[in-house]
Amino acid sequence: MSVKSRQRAALDDKPIVEMGQDGIIRHLNEAAKAFYGTGDAVSAGTPIHGLFLSERGEYAPFLERALRGEYLSGLYALHKSAAKDYVRVEYSLHPVTDRLGSVTGLRLLVQRQLDESPQTLQVWEHDAWVKGLVETAVDAIFAIDEHGHVEYLNSAAQHMFQYDGSEILGKNIRILMPNPYSDRHNEYLRRYIETGVRKIIGIGRDVVCKRKDNTTFPAHLSVSEVRLEGRRVFTGILRNISAQYEAQAEQNRLLGELQERNKKITCLYSVGEVLRAAESEGEMLEKVVHLIRPACFRPQISKVRLDFDEQVYECPTFTGSRWMQSFTIHVGNRSRGKLCVAYMEDLSEPALEHFLREDRNLFEAVAHTIGEAIERREAEAQVIQASKLASIGELAAGVGHEINNPINGIINCADLLMKHAAPGTQTFQFAQLARSEADRIATIVRNLLTFSRQEKEQHSLARICDVVTVTLSLCKKKIEKSYIQLQVDVPDTLPRIKCRSERLQQVLMNLIINAIHALDDRFSSPDPGKVLNINGFITEEQGKDYLCLEVLDRGAGIAPSIRERLFDPFFTTKGRDRGTGLGLSVSDGIVKDHGGYIRVESEVNDYTSFKVFLPLDNAWKLEHELPGDSNQREGMA
């Protein structure tokens, strides 16, 4: 006879009762019919409680648990029998499942019949009492032998690990442990048996357990040892502490968020102090870069770089990465730079999203604060510089008037000498030279006073060639001193335009000075390529006629990143001794006041061309002419 046949025969010898989910008996095997009899109380179609003499409340909980899929064994009860009114038995409950694993009924198996001796009854009552305590315990309780094989799991353990008792009994306890604990368990058990050194028995510790579906959970394990019939049995009590772990994790998360926010607040405060106290823009931005990195979520893998106005401030060994965030620094309405933070490791875990969002908020706030601070510093500098220029203008006007008095004296003396000296003599020649030079000084002073005049002049007809001539009289010596070849092509046949000639002189003066500086930057000594061109011509732009005045130099050129800021007030790339940053801004305003515009074209180390376009259309002239100018209007037509 095969092993399965012997097992089946052994089961057939024991009473087996099958019932449905509703507790109605479906089938009794022959042993069960002989044991319980075939009366009306116990038969197919009758309720299962007909088997029990106990109150329903004593066994109903076991039925409910078995119907949920638990395997229950070692249960004790008083059953009706054919031979006596009752009999004490040990029985088990096995869930019956269909092919999909759903519980469709139960199988009750009588394991053995207990005798009626007082000792047996006492043992039975004690076992039933202990069994009731263990089976109804909230914590998981299991027992293993000295080889680690499972001998018992209570209902809580089966529910905790999602195993039916029949699936786990006799198997190694390692099945309930994830790696690496499962691989080490047998070694720990063997070492304890050999050495007697306790590491967990009688002590308890937190462990990680594994359910049937391979999910894990934390638990606190307490292990005790007992010797039964010359062998060792280890009993373990497990309590699921997932809730405690989750509470601790939430506490740690909140603490981490609080610490990160404190870092961010401290960083913003420190950035504000630096922006307020730093003496220079470079010093300010350099310090800001080094303040940001410690405030990052992961400072050890973070690199910071700040680009501003073609200058770079960065942490050592900065390199870009896939995990990089970039924030634009706006000053006013213009983008002036970027703040970049790169993470050198992958930070794509969803759990890190909150901290990265906090980082983004910090970087955005720092970029905004930098923009506001620089805008405020530049506005303050503009006010101070404007005040200085106003004072210089007043001083220049006063000095000009003071120079006129001695110049007039020189002219009068030169005239007297020329009157009393014979023509052709050396005295006459020296007097004539002194008179000529004095006249030139007087012209320069007169032009300087006109140039610095503050009152609102009226628009009047003027020739652009005259504007060029007067302006060159003020700066021709500076051009010659720099060994610049001056080439002027402004025909006197160009039409007159209605303008404020002194203002146009100011525009031309600013453009010429800038051209001189650009040529000096490229050519430190005389050179054939050191050429300055001033051209005047008529052109058409978008269907309108313009008089164009061009200042073209072959100097250092202008970088593309700088061109968009050329007309910003007080923006300059020159040193303090070479410019204020107001020339082009003022020039742009003057040209716009005349209804025109300025166009810039440049290539670095090649050329720069500033073209001033002044409209020639009658509509613009008529709109800006003053009452009483009808005669001039007719003459222009």
- The more confidently predicted of residues 47 and 387 is 47
475, pLDDT greater than 60 = yes
Tell me if 14 is assigned to some domain: yes
In CATH, what number is assigned to the domain containing residue 65?
3.30.450.20
Contact predicate 459/624, CB 8 Å: yes
Longest dimension (CA), the chain: 172
Tell me if 221 is assigned to some domain: yes
Tell me if 450 is assigned to some domain: no
**Does residue 338 sit in the same domain as residue 202?**
no
H and E: helices and strands count for the chain: 17, 21
- Both tokens of 180, joined, read 């690496």
Residue 1, number of CB atoms within 10 A of its CB:
7
- Both tokens of 205, joined, read 């510790």
- The more confidently predicted of residues 98 and 200 is 98
For the stretch 186-211, pLDDT in tens is: 777 888 887 877 777 777 888 999 99
pLDDT-derived band at 626 (thresholds 50, 70, 90) equals: very low
**Does residue 499 sit in the same domain as residue 626?**
yes
Q: Which of 101, 120, 136 lies at the terminal end of a domain, its last residue?
A: 136
Task: Output the pLDDT for position 449.
Answer: 64
Q: Which of 376, 399, 431 lies at the terminal end of a domain, its last residue?
A: 376
**Does residue 126 sit in the same domain as residue 149?**
no
Task: Output the pLDDT for position 127.
Answer: 64
Most confident residue range from 118-132, 155-169, 451-465, 515-529: 515-529
- The more confidently predicted of residues 449 and 478 is 478
Task: Output the pLDDT for position 219.
Answer: 92
**Does residue 187 sit in the same domain as residue 214?**
yes
- Domain total in the chain: 4
Task: Output the pLDDT for position 36.
Answer: 85
Helix (H, G, I), strand (E, B) or coil at 483: coil
**Does residue 149 sit in the same domain as residue 95?**
no
**Does residue 148 sit in the same domain as residue 229?**
yes
For the stretch 389-424, pLDDT in tens is: 666 666 666 777 678 778 888 888 888 888 888 888
For the stretch 534-560, pLDDT in tens is: 999 999 988 889 999 999 999 988 887
DSSP 194-241: HH---SSBTT-EEEEEE-TTS-EEEEEEEEEEEEETTEEEEEEEEEE-
Tell me if 399 is assigned to some domain: no
The mean pLDDT value for 135-162 works out to: 86
**Does residue 352 sit in the same domain as residue 235?**
no
**Does residue 132 sit in the same domain as residue 143?**
no
Q: Which domain holds residue 292?
A: 261-376
Task: Output the pLDDT for position 56.
Answer: 59
- Percent of all residues in the chain with a pLDDT value above 90, rounded to a whole number: 19
Residues ≥6 apart with Cβ < 8 Å to 164: 69, 70, 71, 95, 158
**Does residue 620 sit in the same domain as residue 528?**
yes
pLDDT-derived band at 238 (thresholds 50, 70, 90) equals: very high
Tell me if 340 is assigned to some domain: yes
* Mean pLDDT (the chain, rounded): 81
Tell me if 405 is assigned to some domain: no
pLDDT-derived band at 453 (thresholds 50, 70, 90) equals: low
620, pLDDT greater than 50 = no
Tell which residue, 569, 622, 612, has the closest CA to residue 592.
612
**Does residue 465 sit in the same domain as residue 582?**
yes
Instruction: Please name the residue that has the structure tokens 């109804």.
Output: 136
215, pLDDT greater than 90 = yes
**Does residue 461 sit in the same domain as residue 577?**
yes
In CATH, what number is assigned to the domain containing residue 603?
3.30.565.10
Task: Output the pLDDT for position 637.
Answer: 27
pLDDT-derived band at 357 (thresholds 50, 70, 90) equals: confident
Q: Which of 83, 101, 136 lies at the terminal end of a domain, its last residue?
A: 136
Contact predicate 121/115, CB 8 Å: no
**Does residue 484 sit in the same domain as residue 630?**
yes
DSSP run (H or E) holding 312 = strand 311-314
Task: Output the pLDDT for position 629.
Answer: 43
122, pLDDT greater than 80 = no
For the stretch 587-619, pLDDT in tens is: 888 898 889 999 999 998 889 999 999 998 643
The dihedral through the CA atoms of 178, 184, 186, 190 has a sign that is negative
pLDDT-derived band at 112 (thresholds 50, 70, 90) equals: confident
454, pLDDT greater than 60 = no
The answer, as to whether pTM is greater than 0.85, is no
DSSP 243-285: HHHHHHHHHHHHHHHHHHHHHHHHHHHHHHHHHHH-SSHHHHH
Give the pairing type, strands 531-541 and 485-489: parallel
Tell me if 401 is assigned to some domain: no
Task: Output the pLDDT for position 634.
Answer: 35
329, pLDDT greater than 80 = yes
Tell me if 247 is assigned to some domain: no
Helix (H, G, I), strand (E, B) or coil at 346: coil
pLDDT-derived band at 179 (thresholds 50, 70, 90) equals: confident
